[in-house]
Structure 1
Amino acid sequence: MRNNSGDINWGIIGCGNVTEVKSGPAFSKVPGSRLYAVMRRDREKLIDYARRHSVPKYYESAEALIHDPEVDAVYIATPPGSHRQYALQVASANKHCCIEKPMALNASECREILDAFAGKSAQLFVAYYRRSLPRFNQVKAWLDAGKIGAVRHVSWGYSRPPSERALSGEYDWHTDPQISGGGHFVDLACHGLDLFIYLLGDISAAKGIATNQQGLYPAEDAVAACWIFDSGITGSGHWNFGAGASCDDVIITGSAGSIHFSVFGSGPFVLETAAGVERADISNPENIQYFHIENMIQHLRGNLRHPSLGQDGQKASWVMDQILSGYYPPTTAI
């Protein structure tokens, strides 16, 4: 600990939109945590962010933030293309690190990051915050209690219309594979795939087909996949970013019932069994990463194991690599 208050002082690299409400304010709301420094190359936006969020220090250099002796932990909130670079620097400084999802451009880069933190006292987390949300832990509780019997299959269908940005031809790093690792599939599907691994165990094999149906950008815009968990549970999914309407439907099918929910929506979770239908309507916190950050602080205090450590976060990247292997050149396997 480097400060007298006993709080963990966090520094954010990349204080963009994702940190405005989802995460940034929660770093100072969680007991034992404080947002102490932020970094952004655009000085005007950097100073404005620091002022609005009452952040004591701000830097235009990531290296300066990382090596600030009063910064205990670093949250990397930049696009995935720079995650590896910054994570290796944080590891070299032996400071705790939380990386935005997906963990890196591919599983090979994830492995490099894991190796860099191996044997160090610094802890590595990945911002798969759904693992810490009460909403999804209700699903886990139903599964752990055997409410639907033996789980047989999980399916996820996700679609949405193309964005105005895509239709206008405006550049979007989310669909630049060199920056994002793929398209909207990589940005969004990683949340659900990681959640399924959390709920149902590790995935041992995955296959997929990806294509570009609209020609609006170089990344894939339509994906279909299937996979199998170590336990023998099967899974399937399809994602389309050029549909006429939006949908986000997950069904976990068991030998004695099913669970229905949405990965990104806020509607109730529905449990259907022979005994009837049960609904759980659990709201998210104002700052959706609050419980994720709270769990990081508790992990650092030795009170629990955080549900999304580095070795957990790399698993979804490996699955996506397998699904997209026919669309992008393969990367080194884990």
Structure 2
Amino acid sequence: MTESHFLFSEDKPLKWGVIGCGSVAEKKSVPAYQKTSGFEVHSVMRRDAQKAEDYAKRHHIPNWTTDAKSVIDNPDIDAIYIATPPDTHKLYALQVAAAGKPCCIEKPMAPNYKDSLEIYHAFETKDIPLFVAYYRRSLPRFLKVKQWLDEKQIGEVRHIHWQKTQPPNEFDLSGKYNWRTDKIVAPGGYFDDLASHGLDLFTFLLGDIEEAHGVATNQQGLYSAYDAIAGSWLHSNGTTSEGVWNFGTQNRVDKVELLGSEGTITFSVLDEAPVELKNAAGHQVLEIPHPEHVQQHHVENIRDHFLGKSKHPSLGKSALHTSWVMDRILGVI
């Protein structure tokens, strides 16, 4: 089976089934699928019937269910988007691979590298397209950073420093359950949810990571997952890198500095902030807004991948590499 098997026309749109329709699917992702020409969202699934029906009605989606398998095996559905918490990604992804359908999985691909590898092999052995929602690879803001790097605007990149810190939020302090800080679902806590975006982006900008190390602990005792992580890594091009992710500090900071032989580039991975370039030619500060639905370009790139127009920047192989880097920093492997 080759990817040409999944080509489609706008006269016969490719129909998506969505597994999980929580907060990410509300604005970031599913509306992007609906607004992409050639795509149609045919059905959504959520375990809570009332919430599934409400979501389908509000988003004008014709079908809803509480049974994921019925969506995956539905012959009218061509492709599946998995938007559940990470601990169920493998369960559903392996079912999608068995059904022989293309899939996009929310990031991270799975809670650990081992599960991510199993997912990757399931699709790779059948030559079925697998995408992972590291959508920052498709956003204009970060494509501008990549352009500056490709143009050698700061010469050779020598070092990356990323600080992502913030105080605990009211939900953390309340003691209420949050899957993002449950070590069974997300061992690294907010690191899994947030740092994965940056680590994946850095490999997109500067190439694969050859070595990665780190330390992780829980300093506050507010939840079971880690809340303080520090790491270092080495890119294949020789760039050294370091990051600190701490979710118990006084101030919120999200700042990346790319230090080059002839200048610096500064930006935020997660916050709405300008991208800045400083070199001998001067100081540029660019405000590059995200689209209304932040996954819009990511989804359009999926369509173009199916049509053979371009290769999608976030496939299973690159997401698998990110899972490996994360586990190395957390000391799992």
**TM-score of the superposition, structure 1-length normalised?**
0.96
1:192 is matched with which residue? 198
User: Secondary structure at 1:117's aligned position in 2?
Assistant: helix
1:92-144 Cα offsets, whole Å, 9 max, x none, are 00001000000001111111011111232421000000000011000000000
The answer to whether 1:217 aligns with 2:219 is no
The whole-number CA distance in structure 2 between the counterparts of 1:126 and 1:97 is: 8
- Equivalent residues of 2:254, 2:269 under 8 A apart: yes
| Alpha-carbon distance in 2 for matches of 1:262, 1:316 | 19
Contact 2:36 2:300 in 1 (8 A): yes
Q: Is the 8 A contact 1:9 1:72 kept in 2?
A: yes
Counterpart for residue 84 of structure 1? 90
Given the alignment of the two structures, is residue 285 of structure 1 paired with residue 287 of structure 2, yes or no?
A: no
Instruction: Letter of the 1:112 partner, please give it.
Output: E
Contact 2:161-2:242 at 8 Å conserved across structures: yes
On the 8 A contact 2:82/2:103 being kept in 1, the answer is yes
The farther-off stretch of 147-156 and 179-188 is 179-188
Distance 1:313 1:263 in 2: 17
Report the CA distance shift for 1:56/1:121 in structure 2 as closer, same or farther (over 3 A).
Answer: farther
Q: Is the Cα–Cα contact under 8 Å of residues 257 and 273 in structure 1 kept in the other structure?
A: yes
Q: How many residues align?
A: 327
What's the secondary structure of 2:232's corresponding residue? strand
The CA distance in 2 between the partners of 1:3 and 1:56, in whole Å, is: 21
Deviating 4+ runs (over 4 angstroms) = 1-4
Q: Output aligned runs, 1:56-205, within 5 Å.
A: 56-205=62-211
When the two chains are superposed, the root-mean-square deviation of aligned CA atoms in Å is 1.3
Query: 1:30 aligns to what?
Result: 36
Cross-structure match for 2:3: none
* Unmatched tracts of structure 1, length 5 or more: none
Cα distance in 2 between the residues matched to 1:141 and 1:72:
35
The structure 2 residue matched to 1:258, chosen from 256, 261, 264, is: 264
Unaligned runs of 5+ in 2: 1-5
Q: Which moved more, 1:179-188 or 1:142-151?
A: 179-188
Which 10-residue stretch deviates more, 91-100 or 314-323? 314-323
Q: Does 1:17 align with 2:23?
A: yes
TM-score (ref. length: structure 2): 0.96
State which drifts further: 132-141 or 312-321: 312-321
